[in-house]
Chains A and B, each alone.
Chain A
């Protein structure tokens, strides 16, 4: 068993704007099952962060419990991280974000951690409009406890042990749309190109960004009758529009593509560029998005891509008019201004 990757690198490896290669954004070698979709997600995160040239120390990886929540160990070794209690990652992230809003919060959760034990926390963090990227590695089973069906499994789905799901599934994208997430997308771990560009857009988006990532469990949910297997997803995946991410620095220099495309400008000036846009595609209408998701499901198809984005929404800090300087950078005299100020506050209530 190999515990380490060779330090040798390809001589032509690209260096980003801050002098790092993607390999500087790697973590330790994964201990997840060989072929796990989560490893593809880790790789996509590594490439997205490297391509955006984010200094690794400006990122915090947040997670709960599960295979998905182990994954942050396998990317961004030089970033901050907090592996929290099962389903409680949103609260911990809220606390961290209140203390230091300057970091990019990359949260990695799973179907159990989000759709079961953490559903309440999930709902509230969306409602709170916290500026974060919330990723769910969704494989439809509890892999870490040997493959019991998760709440995101379709009604009638059968797991490897033959157990059948008697209940309707929770569609996390639909929930996120309904609860006010300002960036909602669904991706497939096996479609690297789409995942990396949507991840980059989500990181640049100011506000709550949610990506549900279908990530096959090779050990417990990759059997022939599974609807979350590599084969099934590859055959039933469909995309509303092919998205590409155009960073601010490239906008002027890059040639405009020929043919049909549609740009969405994000808060920081970067663009999401959509190609091969389907006739009925819209990215600014929640109701339309929900309809499209359900319509595809009815056709036994899995719709992926960017469902909804609102680049202009106020986030938690703006709504609550918090201090411009992150709390962790305020000095003691500002945080605790003393008796005189307390007296004047109290005086204002008299």
Chain B
């Protein structure tokens, strides 16, 4: 257990304390206590930066279930540290923001909120620092759980519960697929350690399980990172309080899928399927998200679709970046690294500008009481600071210089253009799609940025549509977005601050082995590249984006704009309905309330199980040898027995039935005599006599047997089931008989025969066993009889009074 382990567990420990802090220290907002932790952790992670930048890594082990290869191994490298800094850094700002956002200490259940938030923080740190796939999986599902709880924070709202359930169902089922993928990786490599799996990457690529493992893992990553067609949960997750949306649903949790793809790129990246699936789904999500965003009326919904589209962008870049494995760095230089570089850089940029925009939207919602762009407008004059921050964030997202969003967008265009020069995976023909789709999606991105900004801050102020009197937000709400917006500017003006310190080591984690020993990625980001294609593409984006935006009013009545909900929701909603009605149908089919049906299920199951086992292991053995000779009088006995038994179901008179049952009982007693079991014969005779008397007594009160009114089909089912049971019993008995004949085993009863007189003083061995050797059993048997007798007495004597249903 090292300090790093404690760091990951610290949020969970604090989460336990939060309810007490909330209960006993009511004067101070609980958020202040919580804020200390991410801030401390952020400083703690910063001090790793120099070492990690030099290309070092830290690895701490903690055995958990070593026999299964499951250990809590912590591994810090560039990629992990980048996420660690994002989680704690944005976490600090979000907690600060939440203190002012959820200012009403009495009305809000803060203890719940901060417990969930801390749980999420710890789980997320666990995801990004785990070297073991199983620990990663556990933390991964914990983030889904925490996210779902946070979405349902205002659980009295129906939409919140709907969103929470949706995100839970989609992300957890994706996580489940991912678990299957991890298990397949374990089957192929024999280890859960990510670094050890990466070391075997070139071996497993030919394994037939390789592609299924990849698909399962990607299902997990795509559901978490809201990639098409799993993105539908993210817009509904916006029911969460805005600090949560800023933190989980834009900056950190939804990037867990990105993290997983980046982390496992060294394992799967070599395969063309990986390249196509990751980049294809990514680029399509980019387009889908940006087109969907412009028809939203709710500010948070715009941001949600924007997040989906930006996540698609990063995903597409990671996919394109995996092509670097196929090119020798000496031959083509850094041409194909640009994609990975852009992915990492945009990941950071997106967290800064989207985080600040979410907080701005929260402020607008908080101060005006609405997020509907049809009601908002003209806030520029009333909320100047908010306006300035929003302007920076929006321009960065739209990809306008000099902000960091411009840099990564340029780089994205470069990467997409580079992709057309690839000569692998059919890229010669299909490669041109990447820059084209990227360009179209960017136009829509520009348009929705303009839309949400101008409808909120420009235009005419409409106080009559608002419920509150509007004024600038308190300073506590403004600080976090201001910090993020200044980062947007700083990273935009001095991008190389990040380049050496964190982007290079992160790229080294995503693309290991492509560099020579001791070499590093020389990342240098700058604004001016000359008049190249990327620049013209950006200019085109601005012009066409503006055109789309200006024409939005004209198109506003088109059906496309009236439908805000994603059409894919139809699939989700309906499959949920089908799932419920389907399970009701299945349950009703099986739970009929008829004892007979249940008995049929049991019989069919046992017959099936026994039959399957017998056929599978081929244990039929028929040995017709008879150890005991057949005497003629036994023949007569058996024939009478058989005849009576077979006739039994056809008897329709109750006295006849009783007598026939009695006859069978007495015949069996006779058989016991023949088979050298005098005690059994005696007991059977006695029991059978009493039984017949009992029957006659009881039957006096019971109705005459009726003819069974079954449909022929039902009768046939019964017949098949009974014959099946009989066959299985016969075959089992025959096989057992043949087996014991072939492999005689000494009976264990020799002990009783030898010791019955010496130890117990009895000559009747059966009796001695019953009353002496197994005396306790017999005593309990008497107890069973006593219970049965009590039950009988109660049933006869009981007289129900009143209207109760018996």
Q: Are A and B a genuine interacting pair, yes or no?
A: no
A residues sitting closer than 8 Å to B (CB atoms) are: none
